[in-house]
Structure 1
Amino acid sequence: MTSYQINLEGDVLKVRFGQPAMGDQVVRDAAARLDEMITLGELAGGKLLKIDGPASVAVSYLIAHKVSHLYSAIAVFDPKIGRKGYKSFIVAVSHTPAYKIGELIETDEPHKDKIYPKVVICGPSQSGKSCLREGLKQAISNIAGAPYPYVITACPDGEGAWYSEAAQRDLELAQQLKATYKAKFTPEFATKAASWVRNANTPLNIIDVGGRITDENRIIMREATHAVILSGKNEKIPEWQEFCESLGLRIVAIIHSDLEDKEDVIESESPVLTGKVHRLVRGEDVSRRGMVQVLAKVLVGLGSKQ
């Protein structure tokens, strides 16, 4: 199986990640598939091409390079905007006055009957939430038939989904970029992030929030459906439990993060996953840790219970 899958359904280019691979291989596989589709006449050009599905920044640039000259306009699906329960696309490329850059194209493709899991990873600062988030993304991608884990970074700390892989290659550069992108956690940001969570309609959504119990986090987290509590200090867990319960979130995991230990511990898997995860360190691949593997299966299982 290729690392990136592309198919045309009507005027919609359906894209998604396939077999796990590094970014350079994903780009090569995507390029090969697009070239094949163009050669076979599947991507013959036209007035409008809509693109639906997750893509890395590099793959997004590649797709634009390969197809933007074939179509008068290209619009990209964004799960965080538009009418609730329906897919909306943003016009990102236009060679015609018929479509304006930034214009929303709303569709009648419904998403009313299914509420997809929106799992917030929360807990005190310095517990390793962002490391866990990236480990989960990789672990879930390795589960056959699992949905793509759509990550919403709902904290303006500059550490987006790109950070983990960048840190594995060049930690110093990743830290410099994080410092550049870091912004203040304002009520305006909280309101915007809450709308991202509220409108997310992909099969599995993971939300990374700040490490304090604040009004801003309350605004964001109340739009979620489930919670994973991660804490480096056991005494902090009860207050986060109370916070999540006050927002009506179903807690699916309570995990102690131990930086110094050398192995994970699974204490219970049902009804709530509990135990310990060790050494959540930036720049390390934590996707094969025992706790991360079990938690990945728990989150994938949430979708089948909806």
Structure 2
Amino acid sequence: MSTYNISLEGDILKVGFAKPAHGDQIVKDAAARLDEMIASGELSGGKLLMIDGPASLPVCYLIAHKVSELYSAIAIFDPKIGRKGYKTFITAVSHTPAYKIGEIIETNEPQKDKINPKVVICGPRKSGKSCLREGLKQAVIGIEGAPYPYVITACPDGEGAWFSEAAQRDPELAMQLKEEYKAKFTDEFAKLAAGWVRSANTPLNIIDVGGKTSEQNRVIMREATHAVILSGEKEKIPEWQEFCESLGLKVVAIIYSDIDGERDVIEEEAPVLTGSVHCLERGEDVSGREMVKALARVLVGLSRG
């Protein structure tokens, strides 16, 4: 089974992750599939190719290398922009005056006319939210038939989706890059991130926010639909519950981050998942933890509901 799926539907190249694997194997499988499609004539070139689906940065470079000379222009789907209900692509490659770099292309293919779940992972600083976010993403990917979880980093702390895996390999380099990428949490950033959340309409959206019940987080989180509260301090959970409820968010999980714990504890799965997750440390793969897997099932259930 390939680790990366690629298919052509009209002038749209549908891409997406399949069996979990490291980035090097994903690139190899993507290259083999593209070579197969080019050799068979399935990818024969034309005026415009639109690419729809999640891809790692190395896979993006690979696809551009393989197909950019076959098509006059290439546009990439961006779920964070465009008119509600329709798919919008951004022109990223162009060899023709017919399409300008940065030009917005709206397709006739409507997105599902429903509000897909936009789940905020929130709670106090240093609770392990970014670690949980990455483990949760991997746990969702491991569920057969689950949608790919689209992650929005709505906090300028420099700790993007790349951080967890990088920290597993080289913690010092990961922390160095985080400090270099860190920016201030301004009102302007909050408005920009809120726009990302508002426009996101993939089947499952996960939003990572800052660790304060601030006005900036209020602006961002009010665009979401659900919330997961993660806190390393039990006494701060009520503050976050009240904050989420004031924004009209449905809290689907309340989790205590037990840094010194040795195992996860699931107290209740419905109507709200409650319990604890142990030892959320940077660089750890937590996708196999019982609480993380239970939370993944809850989120996939939301996407199917």
TM over 0.5: yes
The answer to whether residue 209 in structure 2 is matched with residue 209 in structure 1 is: yes
Q: Distance in 2 between matches of 1:111 and 1:51?
A: 15
Q: Which amino acid aligns with 1:180?
A: E
Alignment of 1:215-294 (within 5 A): 215-294=215-294
- The answer for the alignment partner of 2:82 in structure 1 is 82
- Give SS of 1:76's match: strand
CA shift digits 1:237-278 (9 cap, x unpaired): 000000000000000000000111100000000000000000
Q: Which amino acid aligns with 2:172?
A: E
Q: Distance in 1 between matches of 2:231 and 2:247?
A: 19
- The answer for the alignment partner of 1:132 in structure 2 is 132
Q: Which amino acid aligns with 2:87?
A: K
- The answer for the alignment partner of 2:100 in structure 1 is 100
- The answer for the alignment partner of 1:160 in structure 2 is 160
CA shift digits 1:189-237 (9 cap, x unpaired): 0000001000001000000000001110000000000000000000000
CA shift digits 1:2-42 (9 cap, x unpaired): 11000000000000100000111110000000000000001
Q: Distance in 1 between matches of 2:128 and 2:260?
A: 13
Residue 121 of structure 1 deviates from its aligned partner by 0.1
CA shift digits 1:70-106 (9 cap, x unpaired): 0000000000011111100000000111111000001
- Give SS of 2:76's match: strand
- Give SS of 1:100's match: coil
Q: Distance in 1 between matches of 2:218 and 2:95?
A: 43
Q: Distance in 2 between matches of 1:126 and 1:79?
A: 29
Residue 112 of structure 1 deviates from its aligned partner by 5.4
The answer to whether residue 61 in structure 2 is matched with residue 48 in structure 1 is: no
Which contiguous aligned blocks of 4+ residues in structure 1 show a shift greater than 4 angstroms? Answer: none
CA shift digits 1:144-190 (9 cap, x unpaired): 00000000000000000000111111111111111010000011100
Alignment of 1:107-146 (within 5 A): 107-111=107-111, 113-146=113-146
Q: Distance in 2 between matches of 1:58 and 1:137?
A: 19
Measured on the aligned residues, the alpha-carbon RMSD in Å equals: 0.6
- Give SS of 1:257's match: strand
Q: Distance in 2 between matches of 1:156 and 1:107?
A: 31
Q: Distance in 1 between matches of 2:245 and 2:125?
A: 20
C-alpha change, 1:249 and 1:19, in structure 2 (3 Å) is: same
Q: Distance in 2 between matches of 1:298 and 1:269?
A: 9
- The answer for the alignment partner of 2:65 in structure 1 is 65
Q: Which amino acid aligns with 1:151?
A: V
Residue 108 of structure 1 deviates from its aligned partner by 2.2
Q: Distance in 1 between matches of 2:60 and 2:108?
A: 25
Q: Which amino acid aligns with 1:267?
A: E
Structure 1, unmatched stretches of 5+, are: none
- Give SS of 1:216's match: helix
Residue 111 of structure 1 deviates from its aligned partner by 2.5
Q: Distance in 2 between matches of 1:128 and 1:279?
A: 9
- The answer for the alignment partner of 2:172 in structure 1 is 172
Q: Distance in 1 between matches of 2:118 and 2:20?
A: 23
- The answer for the alignment partner of 2:4 in structure 1 is 4
Q: Distance in 1 between matches of 2:47 and 2:265?
A: 56
Q: Distance in 2 between matches of 1:140 and 1:82?
A: 27
**TM-score relative to the length of structure 1:** 0.99
Residue 107 of structure 1 deviates from its aligned partner by 1.5
Q: Distance in 2 between matches of 1:269 and 1:48?
A: 47
Residue 303 of structure 1 deviates from its aligned partner by 1.3
